[in-house]
Amino acid sequence: MATIYDFTVKDRKGNDVSLSEYKGKVLLIVNTATGCGFTPHYDPLEAMYKDLRDKGFEILDFPSNQFAGQAPGSDDEIHEFCTLKFGTEFPQFAKIDVNGDNADPLFAFLAAEKPFKGFGKGIKNAALNKFANMNNKKFGDKTYIGWNFTKFLIDREGKVVARFEPTVDMKEVKKAVEELIG
C-alpha cells in the first residue's frame, strides 16, 4: 500500500526532496496562497508548529496559484511574504498545481485517500462552494482540492488519516494533530 513516503517533491529552490525524510513524524500537508481570505491560517499553523515540532510534528507548505490567482509570486517572493508577515519556520516547497492534468502526484494521492466532501454548512461555506465550483470546473474529474488551505493529516507511518477543508476551525485541526502525536 502506498504512503506519502513514496513521493518526491521539489523544495522552493528546485531540489528533489523525498518525503521519506519525514518518516516517523506526524505531518500536516497544506496547499497555501498568499492572497487568499484564508491566508491568516498561517498564524495558527505557525503557532501549532512552534508548539508541537519538538514532539515529532512537521507542516509541509505547498503554495498553489490555481485558486483565483491568489499565489502569484515566485517561490522566493512567497517565502519572503510568509516569513516576514507570519514568521513561518516550517518547510515551504515549490509552488505547484494541485488540480488538473499537471497536478502534483502527491496531491492527487492525498485527495484519493481522503476525497473532498464539501466545505460544511452555513452561508460562508455555501458562498465558498459556489465560488470554488466556478473556479474548479475547468479541472473536471481532476479536481482534487477545493480551495487554498486544504490540510491533510498524516500519521507516523505515512498514512493519510484526515482531511480538513479551509473552513474547518484551526482549533479542531490542532486537536486532531495533538491526538495523533499522543
- 130-139: pLDDT as tens digits: 878 888 888 9
Q: What is the pLDDT of residue 1?
A: 66
* 67-119 pLDDT, tens digit each: 989 998 999 999 999 999 999 999 999 999 999 999 999 999 999 999 998 88
Average pLDDT, the chain: 94
| CB contact burial 129-144 (16+ within 10 A = b; e otherwise) | beebeebbeebeebbb
Q: How far is CA 20 from CA 27, 147, 157, in A?
A: 12, 27, 10
Q: What is the pTM of this model?
A: 0.94
Task: Please name every residue paired with 93 in a beta bridge, in sequence order, or none if there are none.
Answer: 11
Q: For the chain, give the percent of residues with pLDDT over 90.
A: 82
Percent over 70 (pLDDT), the chain: 99
At residue 141 the predicted structure's pLDDT band, cuts being 50, 70 and 90, is: confident
Four-way CATH pick for 4-181: 3.10.300.10, 3.40.640.10, 3.40.30.10, 3.30.70.920: 3.40.30.10
Catalytic residue among 36, 47, 161, 181: 36
40 pLDDT more than 70? yes
Annotation says 36 is catalytic: yes
